[in-house]
């Protein structure tokens, strides 16, 4: 009997999770599954119960005074707010749209076990354990066609195990009635329990912030790469001043605006993503709800809606067919290499003489680990290969290497980095006597899935370009001084690219500087340089299209930041054909 029961559980898991990544739950699965997934009764029993009467009204805000740069919301000011917890930890927001479903972001449910998500309503101070909020568990998670490569279609529905009672503290938000409304210039309000600063802790009390809605054309002219803002997204904020924004922990929460004709609030956006929080040039990006109205209705037909003064059931109402929105499905486009942007840095502040980077500022930055020891840096150039220095791999056993991505603090890793093993190393014709051709390609055992923290750097467009006089950036976890320890977090510094003629006139022997090398630094003052541990890492330059190109690979130098000895890098433009020929089986992003 016990064996049969286990089989039933497995079947349920595979059917209802719809192929999502299932995490290891040994030791907690049984307790949590029976502790509330079905609530007080199995869900099938509800089929024989009388349908509830729909007497609720949506979009009624409990008014008080008006998340970075925001204010604490009044108690129950946003009665549609929902808090999502996973293994008893708060991680995302959501909003009640009817008596049975919560709307949230797809990235809040993709890869999670739906039956471990708990939803609470009528909550203001989530740290106050004396108040017991209304709680529901999730019977089904319905995520749209979402991909982490570009965050398109970042929207999901959670079907609750029991209907939610409507009260003064718990009311649904209205859905838009006009799917053509772009809301440009409208003042909207975002709310959530997220962090109050970019590096801060999540808030105990619900916060709100008012931000203006931008046109997508205006948003594409900010510091974001234009291709990052799809028609299924909506931007809101102050890109010129960056003073107000949603932040980490607000994901999945609502962006709402007040309707003029009845003073109710309707949902126009779902908190999705952004570069940092309230940064100049980077407004918040939200899922545009008007593009998903039919999808929402089709997947919530067993729920009770309040629409324009009439109380009706969703299964008795279907909105008129509208023109299909201009959607770009990342799950189709990314594998065919048509719509993944390369070189998109998550902008932040400014290795010897450098400064710490912001979290995942360089999403192509990778670490080479040899037998559990950090050895060199590397750069992701496509979905299957990283590029590094040949001296980082020559003489080593390739099968002992692994590569980590999406990492910031290598000494204290609250988030497990993405790891790949090495199946092949292609080192160029490198020798330690001349130090020429210091470049290698490392093939990964599995393709890397792109996300907000893992993206490739662009290869140079013009092989003949010398970059002389331009400011380039080098980043890595190397030593912060010549005899110092390696850094826990990656550091970055800007260096001017020198002509090879100038480099040959420094303290180096002129014959050492070959055409396949590139020099960068301040030979006269020597206050900035790459150092030990930065080998193999990237020297990049920002192009006019705001993407970043890899122009150099950290190779060698005499000491670190010594006067008369600038850093020497492998000149990537000399190896473009070699790189392409040896990575023909990989998927490159459009430049």
Residues annotated as catalytic (active site), given as ranges = 107, 154, 251
- 399 three-state secondary structure: helix
Quickly tell me which residue has 């950290």 as its tokens. 554
d(CA 470, CA 496): 6
d(CA 171, CA 157): 17
CB count in 10 Å sphere of residue 347 = 17
* Cα end-to-end distance, the chain, whole Å: 58
Tokens of 8: 């039933």
Sign of CA dihedral 503, 507, 509, 512: negative
Residue whose C-alpha is closest to residue 383's, from 342, 331, 344, 427: 342
Tokens of 557: 């130098």
Residue whose C-alpha is closest to residue 383's, from 415, 420, 331: 420
Residue whose C-alpha is closest to residue 561's, from 516, 508, 524, 506: 524
CB count in 10 Å sphere of residue 31 = 10
Distances (CA, A) of 275 to 42, 221, 224, 246, 453: 43, 15, 8, 11, 10
For residue 138, the Cα-to-chain-centroid distance in whole angstroms is 24
Query: In sequence order, what are the residues at sequence separation of 6 or more whose Cβ sits closer than 8 angstroms to the Cβ of residue 67?
Result: 190, 191, 192, 194, 196, 203, 207, 208, 209, 244, 245, 246, 247, 250
Query: In sequence order, what are the residues at sequence separation of 6 or more whose Cβ sits closer than 8 angstroms to the Cβ of residue 522?
Result: 495, 496, 528, 566
Residue whose C-alpha is closest to residue 90's, from 204, 209, 208: 204
Tokens of 532: 């030990």
DSSP string computed for 13-41 = HHHHTTTPPPPP-TTTHHHHHHTTTTTTS
Residue whose C-alpha is closest to residue 303's, from 460, 147, 158, 178: 158
């Amino acid at each position: 009997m016990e064996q049969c029961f286990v089989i039933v559980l497995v079947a349920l898991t595979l059917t209802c999770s719809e192929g999502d990544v299932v995490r290891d739950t040994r030791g907690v699965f049984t307790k949590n599954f029976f502790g509330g997934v079905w609530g007080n009764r199995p869900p099938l029993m509800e089929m024989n119960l009388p349908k509830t009467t729909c007497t609720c009204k949506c979009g009624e805000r409990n008014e008080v005074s008006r998340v970075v740069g925001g204010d604490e919301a009044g108690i129950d000011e946003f009665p549609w707010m929902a808090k999502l917890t996973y293994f008893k930890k708060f991680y995302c927001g959501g909003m009640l749209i009817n008596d049975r479903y919560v709307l949230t972001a797809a990235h809040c449910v993709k890869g999670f076990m739906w039956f471990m998500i708990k939803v609470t309503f009528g909550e203001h101070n989530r740290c106050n354990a004396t108040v017991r909020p209304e709680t529901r568990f999730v019977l089904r998670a319905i995520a749209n066609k979402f991909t982490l490569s570009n965050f398109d279609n970042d929207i999901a529905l959670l079907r609750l195990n029991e209907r939610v009672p409507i009260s003064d503290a718990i009311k649904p938000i209205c859905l838009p009635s006009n799917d053509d409304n772009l809301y440009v210039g409208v003042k909207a309000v975002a709310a959530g329990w997220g962090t109050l600063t970019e590096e801060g802790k999540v808030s105990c009390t619900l916060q709100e912030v008012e931000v203006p809605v931008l046109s997508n054309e205006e948003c594409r002219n900010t510091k974001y790469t234009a291709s990052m803002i799809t028609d299924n997204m909506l931007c809101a904020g102050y890109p010129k001043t960056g003073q107000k924004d949603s932040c980490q922990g607000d994901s999945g929460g609502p962006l709402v605006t007040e309707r003029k004709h009845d003073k109710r609030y309707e949902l126009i956006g779902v908190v999705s993503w952004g570069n940092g929080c309230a940064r100049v040039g980077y407004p918040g990006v939200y899922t545009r709800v008007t593009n998903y109205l039919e999808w929402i209705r089709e997947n919530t037909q067993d729920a009770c809606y309040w629409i324009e003064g009439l109380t009706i059931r969703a299964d008795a109402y279907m909105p008129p067919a509208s023109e299909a929105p201009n959607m770009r499905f990342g799950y189709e486009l990314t594998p065919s290499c048509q719509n993944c942007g390369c070189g998109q840095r998550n902008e932040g502040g400014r290795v010897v003489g450098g400064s710490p980077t912001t979290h995942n500022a360089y999403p192509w930055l990778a670490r080479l680990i040899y037998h559990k020891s950090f050895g060199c840096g590397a750069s992701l150039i496509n979905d299957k290969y990283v590029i590094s220095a040949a001296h980082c791999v020559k003489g080593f056993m390739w099968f002992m290497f692994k590569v980590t991505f999406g990492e910031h603090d290598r000494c204290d890793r609250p988030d497990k980095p993405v790891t790949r093993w090495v199946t092949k190393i292609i080192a160029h014709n490198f020798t330690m006597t001349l130090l020429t051709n210091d470049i290698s390609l490392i093939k990964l055992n599995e393709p890397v899935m792109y996300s907000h923290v893992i993206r490739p750097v662009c290869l140079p467009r013009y092989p003949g370009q010398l970059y002389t006089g331009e400011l380039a950036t080098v980043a890595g976890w190397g030593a912060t001084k010549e005899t110092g320890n390696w850094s826990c977090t990656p550091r970055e510094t800007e260096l001017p690219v020198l002509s090879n003629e100038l480099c040959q006139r420094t303290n180096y022997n002129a014959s050492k500087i070959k055409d396949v090398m590139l020099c960068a630094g301040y030979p006269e003052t020597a206050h900035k340089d790459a150092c030990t541990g930065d080998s193999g890492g990237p020297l990049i330059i920002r192009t006019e299209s705001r993407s970043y190109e890899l122009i150099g690979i950290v190779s060698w130098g005499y000491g670190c930041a010594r006067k008369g000895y600038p850093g020497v890098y492998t000149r990537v433009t000399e190896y473009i054909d070699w790189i392409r020929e040896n990575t023909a089986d990989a998927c490159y992003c459009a430049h």
